Structure 1
């Protein structure tokens, strides 16, 4: 297992139609290559497996408003710091804009139900 010293993480939760899983994974593999090329320390795309753990009342699928025809995904990218994240993302966005144009690529999921935030690592450094 690769150990990173990242102090900042971008986290994502989204619902992907099951019929679009292959398309999403293809897009995610390209995204991982690009983020890592421009300096991200780690990049993971995780598809839900245990959607109803015991002793939890507010579940990821409920939070993501995942429909029966969809799967919930949790993704994260690790950086050295928030400023490192900003520098990497600037390069990534420029790369994708050049490759796909200002409208970017067609997403295989509903962007209106996609959630994202930046997190400062507090434990585990």
Structure 2
């Protein structure tokens, strides 16, 4: 089954268009490196949790919105190889990232079920 790189990050609400432009520029590069799909989601119904939630996870500030993103890879090896290529690719270093990467939550997941 596939492998998913998942991300949750805070983005200034006023920077939504800049974030979208960045995502649209990065997606073809991810696909060039083997991604099957790239999905970006802008938070519109982020609920408060009792113990934890998306807002707490990224230390969301009042003028920010939570973004949930994922990249689907054919397998973990492809995702790992792509991550290495991204670190070496000047196109990624030239992009202006309109979010605080220090508060980004990142993880890799093996797909165990898909309908």
Taking structure 2 as the reference length, the TM-score comes to: 0.85
Write the deviation string for residues 15-67 of structure 1: whole angstroms up to 9, x where unpaired: 001121111110000111111122201100101111127xx532211211111
* 1:91-112 C-alpha deviation (Å, 9 max, x unpaired): 34433x2x365xx433211111
Residues 66-114 of structure 1: CA distance to partner in whole angstroms, max 9, x if unpaired? 111000000000011110112233334433x2x365xx43321111111
Map of 1:13 onto structure 2:
8
Instruction: Kindly indicate whether residue 62 of structure 2 is the aligned counterpart of residue 68 of structure 1.
Output: yes
In 1, the alpha carbon distance for the partners of 2:56 and 2:92 equals 33
Q: Which runs of 5+ in 2 are unaligned?
A: none
Q: Tell me the matched-pair count.
A: 114
For 2:10 and 2:111, the matched residues in 1 are separated by 25
**What is the CA-CA distance between 1:122 and the residue it aligns to?**
1.6
TM-score of the superposed pair, with normalisation by structure 1: 0.79
Show structure 1 runs of 5+ residues with no match. Answer: 1-5
Structure 1 stretches of 4+ moved >4 Å: none
Calculate the aligned-residue CA RMSD, in Å: 2.0
Say if 1:100 and 1:64 are closer, same or farther in 2 by CA, change over 3 A.
Answer: closer
Native 8 Å contact 2:26 2:92 kept in 1: no
> Is the radius of gyration larger for structure 1 or structure 2?
1
